Amino acid sequence: MTPEINLTRDPAHLRHGSNIGQPLTRRDGVLKVKGEARYAADNHPPGMLYAVIATASIARGRVTSLDVAAARRHPGVVDVMTPSHKPQLAEDPDAKTNPFAFRMEVLQSDEVRYANQAIAVVIAETLEAATEGAALLSPRYDVAPARVGLDADESYTPPVVGLGNPAEVHHGDADAGLAAASQRIEAIYETPAQYHNAIEPHAIVAAWNGDRLSIDTPSQGMVLAQMRIGGLFGIPPGNIHIRSPFLGGGFGSKGLVAGPQILGIMAAKLVGRPVKLVLRREQMYGPVGHRPPTRQRLRIGVGSDGALTAIEHHAKVTTSSFDDFYEPAADVSHALYATPAIKTSHEALRVDSGTPLFMRAPGEATGSVALESAIDEAAFACGIDPLAFRLKNYAEVEPATGRPFSSKALRECYAKAAERFGWSRRPLAPRQMRDDAGFLVGWGMGTAIFPALMFQGNARAVIRADGTGAMETGAHDMGQGAWTALAQISADALGLDLEQVAFKSGTSDLPDAGIAGGSAHTATVGNAIHNAGAAVIAKLAGLATSDDRSPLFGAGNAGVIARQGRLHRRDDDVRSESYADILARAGLAEIDASGSGAADPAAQSQYAMHAHGAVFAEVKVDPNLGQVRVTRMVGAFAAGRIINPRLVQSQLYGGMIWGMSFALHEEAVTDRRSGRILNANLAEYHVPVNADVPPMDVITVDEHDPHVNALGIKGVGEIGITGSAGAVANAVWHATGIRVRRFPIRIEELVTGLSD
């Protein structure tokens, strides 16, 4: 059943006259608290079986034997799917049919490409029977040495990084700029592998009916999933119905359909019954993407006046042994600081891991922590306050291209966050501040940036005979509040109060909303909704202005405005007519129209489009134990038009917390001998918990952007990470005088330095 959520408005709506800009609470939050939100794994169709994946305990080699007979004998086991016993696919899962068709492991051979790869699937009447059956398979292997880490193999220059960006970019003469500098900084920074750990693991409930397929699965891109699944199984994408009303987090890992989901569909086809397959926590470390480790070299030149003369940013990244995704870590240096010369480059090597893919702020998160640390080092070398140094090198145009910014309120972000934080009291030298308990206190800052992206999305608007409306779009809400924000845009687009609009979303039979990624979902779908609303209002106006019985007769489409369920003449506000009366006279039960949202290629070629921000952090460090606690964070962000301040604040908090996590907590540790991830669980893969998160203050800076899109929306989902990790790292240096360039910052590195 398609979810339909009717949202109530905040009383402030009556004062402001618009649903956009109101800090409404998330109505899906009430459903979640009451246990009424239905996630993929909550579905249990009649006759459903359970599937459990058996995974490889080696990182490279071949499976030489599986005790399938033992698993089949186990009570409750229905079948065991292996490379020699499986449904045939219509398309090679290793075929690169489009830029989003990443290779996946779905039992096509006995080869093992990485630890945690699926090597069999056990299907049973109960979850317990399937789990026990998988344990009875007792796999044996022909093991090859695992290639692990940034020095595991010979490196090479990748053909592209990210999604088609050039691996090397040159603007000006970086070598000459470095040679002419009076101060030069050269440093190497390392970041670890990080893994998505959404609370909801990847799951699928799949049921076949002939050549038609019904799926419940968390998805950030249902139409992309339809196309991929349709190709693999040789059926039209329209034969695939995907329900994904709720996602328990995604962070990019649910943007593309992954191997485990395909295995669930294969299992359902094999046994001819509905099948549920849910990954265990440790099984998410491999087949669904991750953030790869990086080693980044920054060379920065500064003139005697404190102005940058050159930035050179080189990143070494890993990809899998069988596919190509290269983290564009150095690209963040293209857009932040004014300099006559920029050189960025990447090199890559193959390791025995799952393919790294999109993870919240891919490239920007890894690249910015290195860049912001290096900028801080350069400021100190010049004897300049870090904020003053950034303002000295403030970019009025995009440095790498010379294009003007579509809008940029970064100066205001610096000023407001610095004032709120109290930055003017910061001593220049490190290790100058202590609290009453004797802990070392440090203050650091970082600049935040993320591109303002848009994809292609569609929506359908309806006005009903009773004067209410509906908006339909296959959008995705993974906790960011899309259902609420998009419903607010819908109400304004239809000229109705919020409770009069039914917002339908979350299934693939609705208009394609595109992918929820790149911090682009609200901009993309919001503009589709805006245009759909404008189109249906135009149809309604056409009915009224061409009907001599209407008080709007002769006004023309351009002469009316929609407000609170009525069309008003622009030149005579008293003359108006309700939607219900217009449709009743026309004898229509409803009227509908479609709209789309997409980036404007002309504007994109003319302007550089980014959201900006500034983050300030305070840390306290135990001088004896080296323990670090973040005690305060203040962030100010300019991200175009804010649809819902409450939701935006939540997203920015989340980004800042993730940045803190990047600096101090997160790291996937790989056994160099076996290639297995040693901490593939939430007990040892450390992320901040409530006790780790300090008081946070978020400021949103007003910003009007007439170029980025019709609604002036920029994304906020990822920008909060990009300044925060560097701010925390720089604060640790300011507290201790120890510059740690390997992340996460470890106690042992601080203790060694503090004891000297």
The closest alpha carbon to 401, from 612, 608, 166, 168, belongs to 608
Give helix 645-664 / helix 719-736 axis angle, nearest 10°: 40
User: 21's torsion region: left (phi>0), alpha (psi -120 to 50) or beta?
Assistant: left
Q: What is the DSSP letter of 721?
A: H
* Nearest-angstrom CA–CA distance, 428 and 483: 46
For the chain, percent helix, then strand, then coil, each to nearest 5? 30, 25, 45
The closest alpha carbon to 582, from 540, 641, 623, 537, belongs to 540
∠133-139-145 over CA atoms, to 5°? 145
Measured in degrees and rounded to the nearest 5, phi and psi for residue 140 equal: -120, 150
Burial 476-496 (b: 16+ CB within 10 A, else e): bbbbbbbbbbbbbbbbbbbbb
* Nearest-angstrom CA–CA distance, 365 and 513: 26
* Nearest-angstrom CA–CA distance, 247 and 219: 7
Close Cβ partners of 259 (under 8 Å, ≥ 6 residues apart): 93, 104, 105, 106, 118, 287
Residues in the chain: 756
* Nearest-angstrom CA–CA distance, 384 and 390: 10
Residue showing tokens 């990447």: 346
* H/E element, 534: helix 521-545
Give helix 521-545 / helix 579-586 axis angle, nearest 10°: 60
36 catalytic per annotation = no
Whether the CA torsion 440, 443, 444, 448 is positive or negative: it is positive
Strands 212-216 vs 140-143: parallel, antiparallel or unpaired: unpaired
Residue showing tokens 């790149």: 518
Omega within 30 of 0 (cis) for the link into 218: no
* Nearest-angstrom CA–CA distance, 213 and 417: 51
Alpha-carbon Rg for the chain in angstroms: 27
The closest alpha carbon to 354, from 294, 292, 289, 258, belongs to 289
Q: Is 325 helix (H, G, I), strand (E, B) or coil?
A: coil
- Which amino acid makes up residue 618? E
**What tokens appear for 606 in the block?**
């003319």
- Which amino acid makes up residue 314? H
* Nearest-angstrom CA–CA distance, 664 and 729: 8
* H/E element, 319: strand 308-320
∠345-350-354 over CA atoms, to 5°? 115
Close Cβ partners of 79 (under 8 Å, ≥ 6 residues apart): 72, 85, 122, 123, 267, 270, 271
* H/E element, 421: helix 410-421
- Of the residues 667, 703, 718, 748, only one is catalytic, namely 718
- Which amino acid makes up residue 664? L
Measured in degrees and rounded to the nearest 5, phi and psi for residue 597 equal: -130, 135
Enzyme catalytic residues: 718
